[in-house]
A and B are shown apart, each in its own frame.
Chain A
Amino acid sequence: MNITELLNVNLIKLELNSKTKEDVIKEMANILDENGKLLDKDKYIKAVTDREKEFSTGIGMGIAIPHGKSSGVKEAALVFGRSINGIDYQSMDDELAHIFFLIAVPEESSDEHLKILSQISRKLMHKELRKGLMEATSPEEVITLLEK
């Protein structure tokens, strides 16, 4: 699997500025937009927030994976964001979320991309990876960790 198809150093922000759930989605969506991954930012954000309304993607353990499948997405991509102080993401375990993966998937996506995303989702369940991501000091390190 080649995660670099979806994630590169420009899509990684180790210190997010946002303090709220709403802002963190916007902040990360902006990163996607700046990197030319979106066709219609508002449409994509709506898809993500609609998904959150079903139930929070704050899955606990300090992780949130907001995601949206939308025609507003140009190509499948991933943003990695980190908040050292943590953000209240209405997570299932009521803890603050520190690690964010914002996933963008177009309506018609290749299976390959979806498989990569599913692999990342699986890996996030492992404690060592979460610890590594919290301690990473550079975007390159994040990519190396996820590629393992």
Chain B
Amino acid sequence: MKFVAITSCPTGIAHTYMAAEALSMAGEEMGVDIKVETQGSVGAENQLTEADIREARVVIIAADTNVSKERFAGKTIIEVGVKDAIKDPNGLIQKAIDIKIEDKNTSKQASDIKEEKVEKKGVYKHLMTGVSYMIPFVAAGGILIALSFAFGIYAFKVDGSIAAALKDIGGAAMGLMYPILAGFIAFSIADRPGLVPGVVGGMLASTVGAGFLGAMAAGFLAGYTIVLLKKIIKLPKSLQGLMPVIILPVLSTLVVGLVMMYVIGKPVSALTVAMSKYLTNLSGANAGFLGIILGLMMAFDMGGPFNKAAYTFGVSTLALAPSSAIMAAVMAAGMTPPLGIALATVIAKKKFTAEERESGKSAWALGLAFITEGAIPFAAADPLKIIPSTMTGAAVAGALSMIFKSAVVAPHGGIFLLFIPHAVINLGGYIVAIVAGTIVTGIMVSILKKDVVVK
């Protein structure tokens, strides 16, 4: 008869291990096979494998901390305090022998869930950590900027006005989005030492114009740089104290910073320039085609080089004429990504976590205000499903806007612009373009995304 156990105590120094030893000794004495995983201050040791768990009759958790039970789905679990295992290990094992197994057929099920989880651990988990810390920054920043527009789309240009303050505050929160995303991806990978290179790398992603994809890259780079540095740097004991305070932060930030500046920054700025040229050459092309290209670019990296090139191009056309059809297409394409995702969170609730559904509510507001970044938390969490959907919807919106010959007089404002008389030419067609793009993205996301696995 085989059993598995986990022991864990708050400080993770003594009781965790005494309980583990007590259980192992008692197991030996009673002639049962028991494998004990310790979750102490040095992390998990003697880790239970999927096979261990599958073969075990019962899972014993002797802990005064919160031990994750995800791995044990479908298993019979006996939970006690860590001291109970120290005090009476034999009794505990006897109980595990005697207890009635609730459902014998669930062992297969448990392993299925485990496999799914394994796949999502690692990279996915790190990404989700970063995204979940980023979400409130996007919401706070985006909604405050939108509020500023509510005072009038140029109200922020008046120094000292509340609209100006709101835009600055919102901008500050928004500006922290990339550092937070990258910082917490790295934090998830490498714990505290990861935070510094991650945050700095994220900040650089934003200054070099690499957008959220650049920030994601920075986060992973920072996390794994720390992991690597910890492995290769061996210091005499007397200098070990320097590792967390000087050596790791300086070296990792240097490495990540250099990569962001040269390996990512240079090509990104070259790409932005090339894109701008390409778009300028396209000016005379078929309107619908140009709309599609602008839409694809706006929604591909949402703040990265493609998006910037398209946006800058739109703004530049506005400088040449009082109203611009290209700017209108750019704005429509920038509004549909968050709007479409927000729509998907309503029509396909199952595909989103509770947190994402809440975040979907603010995505409505951000999309309406032409703050494309509202889509980033979703895109970062599931890029392969979300980005194609936002690109398609934005392409539809951009093309329709161009075909309807809609034009706008300002480079920002979103829905607030629509309320201003004569700010949008062919308003009806413009609204149709945005709604159509939103629906396309919404439906595509709903189809492509998988159901959320309930824990």
In whole angstroms, what is the CA distance A69 to B241 when docked?
16
Q: A110-B240, A114-B40 are in contact. Are A92 and B22 (CB under 8 A)?
A: no
Q: Output the least CB separation between A119 and chain B (Å).
A: 8
A54 to B142, CA, bound (A): 44
How far apart are the CA atoms of A121 and B86 in the complex, in Å? 11
Q: Does A148 contact B (CB under 8 A)?
A: no
- Proximity string of chain B (11-38) to chain A, C-beta cutoff 8 Å, 1 when within and 0 when not: 1111111101110010000000000001
**A3 interface hit (Cβ, 8 Å):** no
Which residues of chain A come closer than 8 Å to B21, judged between CB atoms? 121-123, 125-126
Query: Does A57 have its Cβ within 8 Å of any Cβ on chain B?
Result: yes
User: Cβ of B25 and Cβ of A51 under 8 Å apart?
Assistant: no
Task: Take A69-B13, A103-B13, A111-B42 as given contacts and tell me if A60 and B20 are in contact as well, using a CB distance cutoff of 8 Å.
Answer: no
Verify B83–A67 contact, CB threshold 8 A.
Answer: no
Place the interface of chain B in its size category. 20 to 34
- Whether A55 touches B83, Cβ cut-off 8 Å, given contacts A103-B14, A122-B18, is yes
Is there an interface contact between B14 and A121, defined as CB atoms closer than 8 Å? Answer: yes
B244 at the interface (CB under 8 A from A): yes
Provide the residues of chain B in CB contact with A65, threshold 8 Å. 14, 18
> Chain B: which residue is nearest A63 at the CB level?
B18
B42 contacts A122, CB within 8 Å? Answer: no
| Contact of A105 with B18 in the complex, beta carbons under 8 Å | no
Docked-complex contact B42 and A118, CB < 8 angstroms: yes
CA distance A92 to B17 in the complex (A): 17
Any A CB within 8 A of the CB of B106: no
| B22 neighbours in A (Cβ, 8 Å) | 125
| Chain B minimum-CB-distance residue to A121 | B17
- Nearest chain A residue, comparing its CB with the CB of B83: A92
Q: Given the known A-B contacts A59-B83, A108-B241, are A67 and B13 also in contact in the complex, defined by CB atoms under 8 Å?
A: yes
The reply to whether the CB of A124 lies closer than 8 angstroms to some CB of chain B is yes
| A-contact 0/1 string along B339-382, CB 8 Å cutoff | 00000000000000000000000000000000000000000000
**B10 contacts chain A at the CB level, 8 A cutoff:** yes
Please give me the residue from chain A that is nearest to B240 by CB atom: A110
* A29 interface residue (CB < 8 Å to B): no
B87 an interface residue at 8 Å Cβ cutoff? yes
How far apart are the CA atoms of A24 and B22 in the complex, in Å? 26
In the complex, whether B41 has a CB less than 8 A from a CB of chain A is yes
Closest residue to B86 on the A side, CB-wise?
A59
Q: In the complex, A64 Cα to B355 Cα: how many Å?
A: 45
Neighbouring B residues of A121 by C-beta, 8 Å: 13-18, 21
Residue from B25, B41, B86, B241 within 8 A of A92 (CB atoms): B86
* Chain A residues near B14 (CB-CB < 8 A): 57, 65, 67, 101, 103, 117-118, 121
Interface of chain A residues 74 through 125 with chain B (CB within 8 A): 92-93, 101, 103, 105, 108-111, 114-115, 117-119, 121-125
Known: A60-B86, A105-B13. Contact between A125 and B18, CB under 8 A? Answer: yes
* Pair A92/B38 contact, Cβ less than 8 Å: no
Interface flags, B104-119, vs A, CB<8A=1, else 0? 0000000000000000
Q: How far is the CA of A125 from the CA of B18 in the complex (A)?
A: 6
CB closest residue in chain B, given A69: B11
**Interchain CB contact under 8 A, B11 and A124:** no
Task: Determine if B41 and A51 form an interchain contact, defined as CB atoms under 8 angstroms apart.
Answer: no
* A101 and B45 alpha carbons, distance in the complex (Å): 23
Cβ A118 vs Cβ B11 within 8 A: no
Asked, given contacts A92-B86, A92-B87, A125-B25, whether A114 binds B13 with beta carbons under 8 Å apart, the answer is yes
Complex CA distance for A117 and B64, rounded to whole angstroms: 19
Whether A51 pairs with B11 at a CB distance below 8 angstroms is yes
Measured CA separation A57–B83 after assembly (Å): 9
Interface residues of A in 18-68 (CB under 8 A from B): 51, 54-55, 57, 59-60, 65, 67-68
Q: What residues of A have a CB within 8 angstroms of the CB of B45 in the complex? A: 118
How far apart are B29's CB and chain A's nearest CB, in angstroms? 12
Interface centre among A57, A115, A122, A124, by most chain B C-beta atoms within 10 angstroms, is: A122
A105 → chain B, closest Cβ, in Å? 6
Please report which residues of chain B, range 87-114, place their CB below 8 angstroms from some CB of chain A when the two chains form the complex: 87
How far apart are the CA atoms of A118 and B19 in the complex, in Å?
A: 11
Flag if B87 contacts A93 (CB, 8 Å). Answer: yes
A120 CA to B13 CA, complexed, in Å: 10
Of chain A, the residue at the smallest CB distance from B20 is: A122
B38: A residues at CB distance < 8 A: 118
- Residues on B with C-beta less than 8 A from A103 are 13-14
Q: Which residues of B contact A105 (CB under 8 A)?
A: 11, 13, 41
Nearest B residue (CB) for A117: B13
Report the separation of the CA atoms of residues A67 and B10 in the bound assembly, to the nearest whole angstrom.
11
B11, B25, B64, B87: the one contacting A126 at CB < 8 Å is B25
Min CB distance B405 to A, Å, is 65
User: CA of A114 to CA of B21 in the docked complex: distance in angstroms?
Assistant: 16
Cα(A125)–Cα(B16), bound, Å = 12
Q: A56 to chain B: closest CB distance in Å?
A: 9
**Closest 8 A/B residue pairs (Cβ):** A122-B21, A121-B17, A118-B17, A125-B21, A121-B14, A114-B42, A65-B14, A121-B18
Which residues of A approach B to under 8 Å, CB–CB?
A: 51, 54-55, 57, 59-60, 65, 67-69, 92-93, 101, 103, 105, 108-111, 114-115, 117-119, 121-126
User: What are 10 A-to-B residue pairs whose CB atoms are below 8 Å?
Assistant: A59-B86, A101-B14, A105-B41, A111-B42, A114-B13, A114-B41, A121-B17, A122-B18, A123-B21, A125-B21
Q: Using A118-B42, A125-B21 as known contacts, list a sample of 11 further A-B pairs with CB atoms less than 8 Å apart, ordered by residue number in A.
A: A55-B83, A101-B14, A105-B41, A108-B241, A108-B244, A118-B13, A118-B17, A118-B45, A121-B18, A121-B21, A125-B22
